[in-house]
Structure 1
Amino acid sequence: MSDITDLGVAALRDGIRLGWFSAREVVDAFIVKVSRARTLNAFLVETPDHAIAAAKAADAARAAGEVLAPLAGVPLGIKDLFCTKGVATTAGSLILEGFTPPYESTVTRNLWDAGAGMLGKLNMDQFAMGSSNETSAFGNVLSPWRRSDGGNATLAPGGSSGGSATAVSARLCPGATGTDTGGSIRQPAAFTGIAGIKPTYGRCSRWGTIAFASSLDQAGPMARDVRDCAILLEAMSGFDPKDATSLQLDVSRWEDGLSASMRGKRVGIPREYRVDDMPEEIDALWRAGIDWLRDAGAEIVEVSLPHTKYALPAYYIIAPAEASSNLARYDGVRYGLRDLPEGAGLQDMYAATRADGFGAEVKRRIMIGTYVLSAGFYDAYYTQAQKVRALIARDFEQAFERCDVLLTPTAPSAAFALGEKSADPIAMYLNDVFTVPSSLAGLPAMSVPGGLDKQGLPLGLQIIGRALDEQGVLNAGLALEERAGFTARPDAWW
């Protein structure tokens, strides 16, 4: 049998149930793998005891002849944006260094109730603000991938869920939680050759998940393939009365509904996603994706999303505005960092704490957000951006009158080197050009790996679906996955 750590969520779940190996064997193998890959800086906190406890419970239940929970004994990585009771949670920021929540986020509680264990907390861009994992206060996450040109440039794993992407791609865990505000599940999934889905806004509770932009943030799974994403999404989702934006809907059986047939389905190709200077490799993969879905039985139609060009500027008004409000709570009074210079007053403490605790990108977005919400500019910027958001949502509604799902590239390039774009915020923000529109509209969207570029780096394809049609998105993703036949994995240089 292959190494246990080469197996995904479904294979581990089934193997534990059938007695092919014990849950303890699984966990021990991943604990060793995590300990040997610290060079990648994917984990901020390792929690082997949590994973071992879940494994012991799974093995005991099986020995007693009990029906096992859906994820019994499966070890996962948890993005450090989810509060975990008794385990440090920092959101990748110094301002929360040392914060240990006395409560559990709803998403992680759902996973533990399903029998999963936690291998540790995963590194991330500070407060989920970033596209490369370079804004973390605790050091860059390194992508496990390297270019095939013989150079030794260290690549970005994408962001903000870069720790999750690296951990899954490097086989440090079979699956992980991520969060997606403007593409932070999908872009890192594309960069590291894994699958990731952002569900419809409200599918997963935001309670206990540290907020960046409340009207955009949504939790979702990152895993080796589409089936594993479906399994994890079932466990993570569900109505939560503690979250006012949570959808009061039954959780669908997405895994049972998986089908790679697209017969009778129409796939829309938005003409506005053919951006200037798109690399030929991205365009070629997109054309291949169209052919794969046509081969699966789909009808291909061209659609228009005319306000797409305004999505990125609207997002970078709305998201910072919400961030400036959400991050006001970090003042050094109740939890986290407190910087109190000798003889300083309350306002001085606020200023010193935030100056030392927040990173440059967080400060940039707070200042942008405060500016667009100010009395003189609220209507000129924030109100107009919300109007654009409504138009973008209407564009999608009209497009879905002609098709069932949309197919686009996930990102405008393969992974770039660390430091390559960090000096130019606009160039960094442009990484979200294909993912932001569906986030503004609150729609489900998924990235699946489609191939490699000429440097041997992964490229992803994105499926966008109607609100609440995660099944349609997963099925289209499965059709792509089966035809792409993506089996590449990074060489273990670390």
Structure 2
Amino acid sequence: MKKLLYFTFLILLFIGCQKTKSQQDAVVFKKYSESSAIQKQQDHENKRMQFKLFQSKYLDMNTVFKPFENDLEYFLEEHYTALKPLILEQDIPTLQKHIKTGRLSYEKLTLFYLYRIQKFESDSSKSLNSIISLNPNVLKEARARDKNKKENTEYAIYGMPILLKDNINTKDMPTTAGAIALAENKNTADAFIVEKLREKGALILGKVNLSEWAYFFCSGCPLGYSAIGGQTLNPYGRGIFETGGSSAGSAVTIAANFAVAAVGTETSGSITSPASLNSVVGLKPTIGVLGRTGIVPISSTLDTPGPMTKNIIDNAICMNAMRGFDQTDAASKELAVDYFKNGFKQKLKGRRLGVIKSLLTDSIYSATVGKLRRAGAELIEITPPEVALNGFLTLLNIDMKNDLPKYLAADADEQIAVTSVKDVIAFNLKDSLLRAPYGQQLFEGIVEDTTTLAKLEIIKTNLTNSGRKYFQALKNDNLEAILSINNYHSGFAAVANHPTLTVPMGYKNSGEPISLTFIGTPLSERILLEIGYAFEQLTKVRKMPKNYQ
């Protein structure tokens, strides 16, 4: 009897301790006074960085995290700390090995990221305003992945938590493009690439902030701002360095280790720019390599999704997971490319790469060129011809004027009231301080542009020819890639339909990241990834932002 009472006491004591542990102070997202921070921001030398606000006036992150209250109640700081060495900065093959050996599980991996996002985003001194929504079913899905583990997962996306730019449709979260006009865009099918990710077993963790309407909305406004998500901030310098755009949240969340990978979209520089400024790997594929159905558009001529990761291997794995022929996308291509089959070799010797002479004045670029030369790459200095991209804005104007209504009719929630750019402008004018504090000048320009479709075709042809002329050295000098900096030449690559891969190259004296961008010929993504991997292994410069370790 005494033994029974003793064991009963121990059990009650254990339960009591567990309750005490779980009854830690609940994390609450509180609005804070940002007046002094905004005032300080007005002294920034970059006018785009002179913010009018930081926090979202629309979003309540307490509601976003509500589905995870019970699970996070029992996931404590000591659990998080114990898992950090297994997860932070690790590539997919390493994470899959930890799961295979039992050191980790898909559920623990997902809980880790949810805890980490909550930890930083609820801290007013470290919040990045990077998350718009979270998949309420993601932990249930993670447990299912654990229950149905596959044998060969080392180089697979299976069970990996992925974040999506919030202009990519999902069936379980709204797709807003950062705009209040689409805040209730809930009842949609998965975008084509999301279907592919789910088929491969990926976990869609949530949606991330972006430059509203993919930065084709206001003129001269901050990069990474949206009325839904507020002002996205760069973890390497909150309010000091730009995030890049429009896929700001996709880059910021991966830089801060909030997920394994993210998906962004690009029309001209919208993957390359934020990836570069947040020291992550970003790939903008050739148009048609990845399907675009279910993505809020700017331009059916130039738009493409693409992966954003901490390393090249993960980028290739993501490409494999998203590929496929999209029957409802007129630009989609039937390809049989495997972006990681047989792995990558650390080989730069004999690679013919173009060095843009005018960029050699940049000390980091110049030093990088020296490293590549010493590693055996054949470097050919080139001076691209002076080429104007006349009509570029017109192309975007007329494409969006026609493409956005098609998305709203075919891929948006039937309850969404706006049917055109003109409707969105009128909707925003009803409460411009909330819905368009920086104005909507580019949308107004779309409505005012009367260019005909016949004239547009001429503009497209001329732009394509101009882009190809700019990169004529790729063919003339038999180059595998041209080396650029950040998104310096994204416009030319966009109109020429050349893929671009940006890889961390270093950090300026200020601490701001800078990246090397490889520009290749159409459909050369595999080659770019191989070269990028060799460069990454040679330099290994990426480092975590110091306040997010």
Match of 1:406 in 2: 482
Aligned-residue offset at 1:384: 4.3
Aligned-residue offset at 1:372: 4.3
2-side partners of 1:127 and 1:218: how far apart? 14
TM-superposition CA deviations, 1:328-352 (whole Å, max 9, x none):
466999433569xxxxxx9997763
Aligned-residue offset at 1:385: 6.0
From 30, 45, 61, the counterpart of 2:133: 45
Aligned-residue offset at 1:296: 3.0
From 513, 516, 523, the counterpart of 1:461: 516
Match of 1:157 in 2: 243
TM-superposition CA deviations, 1:64-111 (whole Å, max 9, x none):
x75559222111111111100131110111110111133111111111
RMSD: 3.1
Please say which structure displays the higher CA radius of gyration: 2
From 419, 426, 440, the counterpart of 1:352: 426
Q: In the TM superposition, what are the counterparts of 1:365-376 in structure 2 within 5 Å?
A: 365-374=442-451
Match of 1:228 in 2: 314
Go from structure 1 to structure 2 and tell me whether the alpha carbon gap of 1:27 and 1:334 turns closer, same or farther (over 3 Å shift). Answer: closer
Contact 2:163–2:261 at 8 Å: present in 1 too?
yes
Go from structure 1 to structure 2 and tell me whether the alpha carbon gap of 1:174 and 1:333 turns closer, same or farther (over 3 Å shift). Answer: closer
Contact 1:405–1:466 at 8 Å: present in 2 too?
yes
Contact 1:262–1:476 at 8 Å: present in 2 too?
yes
Aligned-residue offset at 1:24: 1.2
2-side partners of 1:102 and 1:289: how far apart? 46
Match of 2:143 in 1: 56
Contact 1:372–1:382 at 8 Å: present in 2 too?
no
Match of 1:419 in 2: none
Match of 1:285 in 2: 364
Contact 1:321–1:368 at 8 Å: present in 2 too?
no
1-side partners of 2:421 and 2:213: how far apart? 23
Structure 2: any 5+ residue segments left out of the alignment? 1-82, 122-126, 217-221
Match of 1:317 in 2: 394
Q: In the TM superposition, what are the counterparts of 1:243-254 in structure 2 within 5 Å?
A: 243-254=329-340
Match of 2:416 in 1: 336
Contact 2:474–2:520 at 8 Å: present in 1 too?
no
1-side partners of 2:535 and 2:441: how far apart? 38
1-side partners of 2:418 and 2:270: how far apart? 29
2-side partners of 1:255 and 1:452: how far apart? 32
Match of 2:112 in 1: 29
Aligned-residue offset at 1:474: 1.0
Aligned-residue offset at 1:439: 1.2
Go from structure 1 to structure 2 and tell me whether the alpha carbon gap of 1:363 and 1:382 turns closer, same or farther (over 3 Å shift). Answer: farther
Match of 1:387 in 2: 462
2-side partners of 1:45 and 1:349: how far apart? 25
TM-superposition CA deviations, 1:140-194 (whole Å, max 9, x none):
1111112xxxxx7443321111111111011111210011110111110111111
Match of 2:176 in 1: 90
Instruction: Confirm whether residue 364 of structure 1 aligns to residue 364 of structure 2.
Output: no
Q: In the TM superposition, what are the counterparts of 1:200-279 in structure 2 within 5 Å?
A: 200-254=286-340, 256-271=342-357, 274=359
Give the TM-score normalised by structure 1.
Answer: 0.82
Contact 2:501–2:529 at 8 Å: present in 1 too?
yes
Aligned-partner residue type, residue 115 of structure 2 = V
2-side partners of 1:161 and 1:348: how far apart? 24
Aligned-residue offset at 1:137: 4.0
2-side partners of 1:258 and 1:137: how far apart? 40
1-side partners of 2:421 and 2:383: how far apart? 51
Instruction: Confirm whether residue 118 of structure 1 aligns to residue 204 of structure 2.
Output: yes
Go from structure 1 to structure 2 and tell me whether the alpha carbon gap of 1:307 and 1:323 turns closer, same or farther (over 3 Å shift). Answer: farther
Aligned-partner residue type, residue 530 of structure 2 = N
Match of 1:149 in 2: none
Instruction: Confirm whether residue 12 of structure 1 aligns to residue 86 of structure 2.
Output: no
Greater displacement, 401-410 / 327-336: 327-336
Contact 2:215–2:223 at 8 Å: present in 1 too?
no
Go from structure 1 to structure 2 and tell me whether the alpha carbon gap of 1:218 and 1:195 turns closer, same or farther (over 3 Å shift). Answer: same
Go from structure 1 to structure 2 and tell me whether the alpha carbon gap of 1:351 and 1:303 turns closer, same or farther (over 3 Å shift). Answer: closer
SS at match of 1:297: coil
2-side partners of 1:476 and 1:319: how far apart? 32
1-side partners of 2:392 and 2:107: how far apart? 45
SS at match of 2:112: helix
Contact 1:129–1:361 at 8 Å: present in 2 too?
no
Give the TM-score normalised by structure 2.
Answer: 0.74
Match of 2:7 in 1: none
Aligned-residue offset at 1:395: 3.9
SS at match of 1:119: strand
Go from structure 1 to structure 2 and tell me whether the alpha carbon gap of 1:194 and 1:493 turns closer, same or farther (over 3 Å shift). Answer: closer
Aligned-partner residue type, residue 45 of structure 1 = S
Aligned-partner residue type, residue 87 of structure 2 = I
SS at match of 1:448: strand
Contact 1:372–1:378 at 8 Å: present in 2 too?
no
| Percent of pairs with identical residues | 25
Aligned-residue offset at 1:371: 4.2
Aligned-partner residue type, residue 393 of structure 1 = R
From 394, 403, 418, the counterpart of 1:326: 403
1-side partners of 2:444 and 2:494: how far apart? 22
Aligned-partner residue type, residue 317 of structure 1 = T
2-side partners of 1:270 and 1:233: how far apart? 28
Instruction: Confirm whether residue 193 of structure 1 aligns to residue 287 of structure 2.
Output: no
Aligned-partner residue type, residue 171 of structure 1 = N
Go from structure 1 to structure 2 and tell me whether the alpha carbon gap of 1:269 and 1:239 turns closer, same or farther (over 3 Å shift). Answer: same
Aligned-residue offset at 1:251: 3.4
Residue-pair matches, total: 448
Contact 2:356–2:381 at 8 Å: present in 1 too?
yes
Go from structure 1 to structure 2 and tell me whether the alpha carbon gap of 1:333 and 1:479 turns closer, same or farther (over 3 Å shift). Answer: closer
TM-superposition CA deviations, 1:391-433 (whole Å, max 9, x none):
322443553331111101114xxxxxxxxxxxxxxxxxxxxx4
